[in-house]
Amino acid sequence: MSRLKELRKYVDAELNKMDVTDKRTSAIAHLYGVSLAATMIAKKRGLDQEIASMAAMLHDLHAYKTGSYEDHAHKGADLAREILGKLKLTDEAETEMICSAIYHHDDKLVTDGPMDEVLKDADVIDHCLKDASKTVKEKEQARFERLCKEFGLLG
């Protein structure tokens, strides 16, 4: 089994513990949506697609498990470190890269490292494109416009 598949199996089991069906469905859709977007963005930028996708699968898990978004990025990074330590799918440098991306992913108005930026951008792509009729959040507007330019989405 690939490591991404193995991680997804773990995340799926965690998400399946959520008892509100609507919330569970949107959690699954969001993590898989961000995971796909992260792979695409990492490929375009010559970065590790697997690590990007793994970070995306874990990035909001803390919020889903606890039902709270308070400091969810920082707490989510701690949770990811715990999970990756248990699953032993990544080496130290990869764990750092994943946890750093999760730690910074809510800081949409600042620029961090290349993999941190992949996760932020993937999150924004999912927020903005899963329902194009919705208004783009103000803090995501500039980033979404940059992404549209980068990917030639000029419609």
Interface residues with Fe ion (CB under 5 A)? 60, 123
- C-beta of 57 vs 91, nearer to Fe ion: 57
- C-beta of 60 vs 140, nearer to Fe ion: 60
Q: Minimum distance from CB of 54 to Fe ion (Å)? A: 14
Extract the tokens encoding 15: 């998400």
Calpha distance 130→13 (Å, rounded): 24
Extract the tokens encoding 70: 């308070």
Q: Minimum distance from CB of 78 to Fe ion (Å)? A: 17
Element holding 23 (H helix, E strand): helix 21-45
Q: Minimum distance from CB of 123 to Fe ion (Å)? A: 4
Calpha distance 103→141 (Å, rounded): 21
